[in-house]
Amino acid sequence: MHTDLLKTLRLESSGVPIYVQLREQILRQLGAGVLAAGDQMPTMREVAVTLKIDLNTVRHAYDELERMGAITLVRGRGSFVAEPPPAMGARAQNVKVDSLAKQVLATAAAMGLDPALVADRIKALSKQKE
């Protein structure tokens, strides 16, 4: 399954750091269902060789994905798509939503994008999934 992910990864010279591009592309693949809970991720070395980038750049992206709870790193076995977290209370959900919203705002600002346009696009994409 992870070879499908490797085929979809593309880097751009957009000024956005490579690890951020990589992290975001993997998150999109998770959201699209290309990768499911428990699926093994490509090794960091496989990603680095395929994209011709430094191993530490891939490690940075994977570390962030692990901190976000999107993947689980298992020493000696590899990286796996994390199981979805159990349902959380409204307060905890609001904290996570605020954190994600702030992250999206910062990313939009770094890319020179209008946050309102990003919000509109998120709404449109959300409706497409339904």
Per-residue model confidence (pLDDT) at position 130: 54
Residue type, 5: L
Query: Domain holding 50: CATH number?
Result: 1.10.10.10
Each residue's pLDDT tens digit, 101-129: 888 888 888 888 898 898 898 888 888 76
Domain count, the chain: 2
123: tokens are 């709404």
Check residue 56 and give its pLDDT: 96
CA gap 116, 48 in Å, rounded: 34
Q: Are residues 64 and 104 in the same domain?
A: no
pTM of the model: 0.68
**Position 48: which residue type?**
A
For position 64, what pLDDT does the model report?
93
Residues lower than pLDDT 50 in the chain: 1
Whether residues 54 and 13 fall in one domain:
yes
Domain that holds residue 111: 90-129
Based on its alpha-carbon atoms, the radius of gyration of the chain, rounded to whole angstroms, reads 15
Same domain, 116 and 68: no
